[in-house]
Amino acid sequence: MTRAIRAALVAVTATLLPAASPADTIKVGVVAPFSGPFAIYGKQYQEAVETYVAQHGTSAGEHEIEFIYKDVGGPNPDQSRALAQELLIRDQVDYLAGFTFTPNALAVGPLIEQSQTPTVIFNAATSSINKESEFYLRTSYTLWQVSAPLAEWAYDQGMRTVATTVTDYGPGIDAENAFKAAFEAKGGEVVDAIRMPLSTTDFTPFIQRVRDAAPDAVFTFLPGGPPTFTYTKTYNENGLAEAGIKFLGTAETEEVNLQGLGDAAIGLTTAYHYSGAHDSDENRAFQAKLTELFPDAIANWASVGAYDGTHLIYQMVAAAGTDGPGAVEAAKTLEWESPRGPVKMDPETRTLIQNVYIREVARDEATGQLVNRETGVIATVGDLGWDK
Amino acid sequence: MTLFLNILVDGVAYGMILFMISVGLSVTMGLMRVVNLAHGGFALLGGTFAHWFAAELGLPFWPALVLAVTLTVALSLPLERVIYRRIYGFTDLQQVLATIGLTFLMIASVNLWQGSSLLPVPLPEGLKATVDLGFRTLPAHRLMVIAAGLAVVLGLWWLLERTRFGIRLRAAVDNRGTASAHGINTDRIFMAAFGLGAGLAALGGVLGAEILPIDAYYPLRYMVLFLIVVAVGGMGSIAGSFLAAIGLGLLETAARYLAPDFATILFFALVMALLALRPNGLIVRAQ
């Protein structure tokens, strides 16, 4: 009898205990733009995080995970730092995540160094960020990572002369340098390197200049949104495609704005680490869950960066809980199958080593939508800009 | 020579788009003396409606354009009646704050309705074609915009200088009390002029969407550009806005061809120099 009661008691306590004692909750602070012109990125991060949580539950190892979102508005390093401080001190978060813009990511470096907080960058793509602190980890890409392989691929395809047109700011200059270095190393020639003002709305003069120079291809880097739209239109309307000057880009045909570009986008060639049309079970499962939860959502670099970032956080929490240095150590050897393909954390640069795909915009026969069709995998590449 | 022709053609085409979008601002800000920073908001509304009619409801381009402009005007009239009528009496700073508040309202509404991605307006096949100029090709829609710009400048000149409406509007602006005393219904005149300004903004927004694409943040993105055209042109001067838009278009295009790295600095330096020489703009309306 007593034995039976004791057994019953043990059984009851065993089931009750985890619920009764306050669960060990690990908090993750996500700093991203949720208002203003870049609000869509914050929204996409949150949707991707929630998709991951819906697929994998709210606990990692023995810990519960909770996400706290903070709106940084836009490229605003001061605000980014203030929010990170608030998250670390008042909300007692153990991990930070998000960061769309390089200055916002850089601004929290001294903080995470002091508090030993692993910080997962969902986008900011300047190579040098991760040099600032051991606690930065990145699940997006760097401009060198996609631009240099594109240059080599272009040379291998028989293109010998290229004009570069990049927007005159940090990432644009990174992209120009990467492309130029890789293309010239192969033996190609950059015939004209144009840096376009950030405020440019009419690209005709630059495009016309390229046309007059008549290179084999034009490589471009633009900030997302409206410039992409006018640039690709101008590229077509001024007859560069007809003149045989191939379009080479990176994120210009990203999925959220792709339908807006219309037929003008068909045939544009880009090199990038993710395509919404990537043919794999992981990608299909990710997109199915994403659109089940958020019917209007479109998967692109922002969602996949956040999705893999969440995966990374779950793995770190499972391995090391609240121990920051331990979590970073555990992350350094991780590899997994992401919706973008196989990925691996580079222990030195703490940026993903991943495939870079050559994509060409095409109209999908089944859905009638424009997609970035993958026509080739270049290589599994790490952050090529690390020692530049 | 080809370079010169390129600059000329592209500069005029770009300048004409600037003119199309800014001329409505010249009407409301210059003629009616209201600092209307919500002007870009009406261009946004026009563009958004055109996108909705053409891309989502599947109407052809021209009916979509007409409906979009009509709908924007239809919205602007009650807005004038309820809100702007109060704003006319404000000081300059209050007008700036009130109209920028309206701009945020418009941005938020479009953001809620259509999201913050691009809102393209599909062009008909005829306008997508390229026209061969001999030394180079030019998209047909640019030629159409140039033609539309010329039509607008002539139409406005005729409307403001040669019709009863123009005379009454100028009278109402110069001295509202006296104009009323002469039996002019100044309320209705102001409402019509405001609707005209909003309609021109919508027209410019849709026709200019190939170069200044429509998205929810459109009004803030290009506000400075519109204000520069009006400031350089001289407030309330249609001819001034026209000259300023074409001049600035040519100037910026030339800078982009010849010294792309310095295009923005050059542009602003020249605008500042010009305003230092002629603080009231190229053409000052006789008071």
> Per residue in B84-96, pLDDT tens?
888 888 888 999 9
Are B245 and B229 in contact by the 8 Å Cβ rule? The answer is yes
User: Which B residues, 2 through 41, put their C-beta within 8 Å of a C-beta on chain A?
Assistant: 2, 6-7, 10, 13-14, 17
Q: Which neighbouring-strand residues pair with A361?
A: A372
What gap in Å lies between CA A385 and CA A362, rounded to an integer? 31
pLDDT at A9 over 70: no
Confidence band of A39 (pLDDT split at 50, 70, 90): confident
What gap in Å lies between CA A107 and CA A150, rounded to an integer? 31
Q: What does the pLDDT look like over A230-266, one tens digit per residue?
A: 898 889 888 898 899 999 999 899 888 888 888 888 9
Q: Nearest-CA distance from B177 to chain A in Å? A: 43
Are A343 and A335 in contact by the 8 Å Cβ rule? The answer is yes
Confidence band of A19 (pLDDT split at 50, 70, 90): very low
Q: How many helices (H) and strands (E) does chain B have?
A: 13, 2
A244-258, B56-70, B259-273: range with lowest mean pLDDT: B259-273
pLDDT at A21 over 50: no
Residues A69-86, mean pLDDT to the nearest whole number: 94
The shortest CB-CB distance from A225 to any of B118, B210, B260 is to B118
Q: What does the pLDDT look like over A157-191, one tens digit per residue?
A: 999 999 999 998 888 888 999 999 999 999 999 99
Residue A11 confidence (pLDDT): 54
Confidence band of B23 (pLDDT split at 50, 70, 90): confident
Select the residue from B137, B143, B271 to test the A interface by mutation, using most A Cβ atoms within 10 A.
B137
What gap in Å lies between CA A274 and CA A254, rounded to an integer? 9
CB contact under 8 A, B264 and A198: yes
Q: What does the pLDDT look like over B34-43, one tens digit per residue?
A: 888 999 999 9
Residues A82-95, mean pLDDT to the nearest whole number: 95
A91-95, A146-150, A196-200, A228-232: range with lowest mean pLDDT: A196-200
Q: What does the pLDDT look like over A255-314, one tens digit per residue?
A: 888 888 888 889 999 999 999 999 999 999 999 999 999 998 999 999 999 999 999 999
Are A370 and A356 in contact by the 8 Å Cβ rule? The answer is no
Confidence band of A345 (pLDDT split at 50, 70, 90): very high
Residue B219 confidence (pLDDT): 92
Q: Nearest-CA distance from B138 to chain A in Å? A: 6
Chain A CB within 8 Å of residue B151 CB = no
Residue A2 confidence (pLDDT): 60
A–B CB contacts, 8 A cutoff, strictly below: 94
CB contact under 8 A, B130 and A260: no
CB contact under 8 A, A204 and B253: yes
pLDDT at A22 over 50: no
Using a pLDDT cut of 70, give the percent of chain A over it.
94
Residues A89-99, mean pLDDT to the nearest whole number: 95
What gap in Å lies between CA A210 and CA A51, rounded to an integer? 43
Residues B114-140, mean pLDDT to the nearest whole number: 84
Residue A89 confidence (pLDDT): 94
Confidence band of A3 (pLDDT split at 50, 70, 90): low
Provide φ and ψ at A362, rounded to 5°: -145, 160
Residue A7 confidence (pLDDT): 60
Average pLDDT of chain B, as a whole number = 88
Using a pLDDT cut of 90, give the percent of chain B over it.
37
Q: Nearest-CA distance from A233 to chain B in Å? A: 8
What gap in Å lies between CA B178 and CA B168, rounded to an integer? 11
Confidence band of A86 (pLDDT split at 50, 70, 90): very high
Residue A179 confidence (pLDDT): 95
Position of tokens 């022709």? B5
Q: Nearest-CA distance from A63 to chain B in Å? A: 36
Confidence band of A1 (pLDDT split at 50, 70, 90): very low
Q: Nearest-CA distance from B233 to chain A in Å? A: 21
What gap in Å lies between CA B218 and CA B197, rounded to an integer? 17
Residue type at position A85: Q
CB contact under 8 A, B130 and A296: no
Sign of the torsion angle spanned by Cα atoms A74, A78, A82, A84: positive
Average pLDDT of chain A, as a whole number = 90
Chain A CB within 8 Å of residue B175 CB = no
Task: Name every chain B residue with its beta carbon within 8 A of the beta carbon of A229.
Answer: 118, 120, 213
Residues B48-62, mean pLDDT to the nearest whole number: 94
Provide φ and ψ at B91, rounded to 5°: -75, 170
CB contact under 8 A, A197 and B263: yes
Residue A184 confidence (pLDDT): 96
CB contact under 8 A, B260 and A256: no
Confidence band of A18 (pLDDT split at 50, 70, 90): very low
Residue A20 confidence (pLDDT): 38
State ipTM. Answer: 0.83
